[in-house]
Amino acid sequence: MNNPVYLDHPVYLDHNATAVVRPEARAAMAHALEHVGNPSSIHAAGRAARALVETAREQVAALIAAPPSTVVFTSGGTEANALAIESAIAAGARRLIISAIEHDSVQETARVHGLAVEILPVDANGLADLDGLRARLAAWDVADGKPFVALMLANNETGVIQPVAEAAEIVRAADGWLHVDAIQAAGKIAVDSRALGADTLSVSAHKIGGPQGVGALTFGPRATLSRRQHGGGQERGRRGGTENVPGISAFGAAAVEALTGLETFAARAVWRDAAAEALKAAGAVVMGEAAPRLANTLCIATPGFPADVQVMGLDLAHVMVSAGSACSSGKVKASPVLEAMGQGELAATAIRVSGGWSTTGADWTRFVDAWTAAHDRHTARRRQTVGAA
């Protein structure tokens, strides 16, 4: 670990937070920046800008198997989630059901409107309780309006893939609205928004190698979107504001590459699993191990080895991962996702390791070496402290 060569070759394993930008996305953005024109203008420059947006719309639609006419570009995944939830509320939802593992953008948007919010629990592996959902919707009170359920396709912390298609059948039988946050899943597994049965489904550019600040929402025939951001008639009147042409173009280019790479992405699970076995030998516990997971994601918790100590130790070795806990105002609190899985004290020792399109097997090996060295140092210090006492 003292090899100076490592200092010039940092390892980035935090793709679930934001992925490395793909060269194709950079090129598409640069190309768009070379052209002037508002896509709402009818002159030649405006039409050229509109063509860039519509090409990207088709490319993003292909990634999630959606009709291009149903894809609405937003400022990111957070806005896409908010547009879905607030549209459902505008359509008459008065009580919202969200899974215990949803992203903060879903949780906070659901709660800010003052409506009743129910939590759909998950089991020890992070899989949603569909029997509970079925029973709850069977007893639904019509006074609560159309049932609304939010269930993400793949969790950002554990990588656990949810049985969304089965959940959609349950929701549809109750004439409900199912929103699917597919932000972590898109580009890592095949996503067919219509086959999944999603009424609305969100994606984000920077999770697949596009730029930050661009997202999209697709909607099915049972959903009616209500414009939440007012202004002009952009995005077919569904979202006001001039489109981010360079960002959208880059999103489209990243979507093309992500879709092409799906065939080989699943094979990357070999690197993740080899790392998991090495860490398990040192006492680490793999979160969601018995459930289907994204090939790039490893969430581990190690008794007695705090998450922040792990992240700092790895960062000193030029290996970048994230804590499985959320930081707020300088304080570390246990991950609500892992707490919902019943992990208790282990939740405060969890870290997330997430590769991406640019990750290599050597990166995972570097991570294992760095983690093992940090774990050995921490264990030695603990022994010294106990001995001194």
Beta-carbon contacts of 256 under 8 Å, excluding residues fewer than 6 positions away, are 24, 59, 62
Catalytic pick among 7, 30, 124, 327: 327
Determine whether 344 is exposed, middle or buried from the number of CB atoms within 10 Å of its CB (0-12, 13-18, 19+). exposed
Residues for the chain: how many in total?
Answer: 389
Rounded CA gap, 302 and 285, in Å?
Answer: 6
Rounded CA gap, 248 and 51, in Å?
Answer: 11
Tokens 């999103």 correspond to what residue?
251
* Per-position b or e across 74-88, b if 16+ CB within 10 A of its CB: bbbbbbbbbbbbbbb
Beta-carbon contacts of 42 under 8 Å, excluding residues fewer than 6 positions away, are none
Q: Tell me the Ramachandran region of residue 37: left when phi exceeds 0, alpha when psi lies from -120 to 50, beta otherwise.
A: left
Tokens 């892992």 correspond to what residue?
338
Structure tokens at 33: 């920046």
Q: In what order do the strands lie in the sheet with 297-301?
A: 285-286, 297-301, 350-354, 322-323
299 is known as an active-site residue: no
Beta-carbon contacts of 43 under 8 Å, excluding residues fewer than 6 positions away, are 37
Rounded CA gap, 372 and 354, in Å?
Answer: 17
Structure tokens at 174: 């109750």
Q: What is the largest CA-CA distance in the chain?
A: 79
Rounded CA gap, 163 and 167, in Å?
Answer: 6
Radius of gyration of the chain (CA): 22
Closest C-alpha to 12, from 219, 314, 372, 276? 314
Structure tokens at 57: 């719309």
Active site residues per annotation = 327
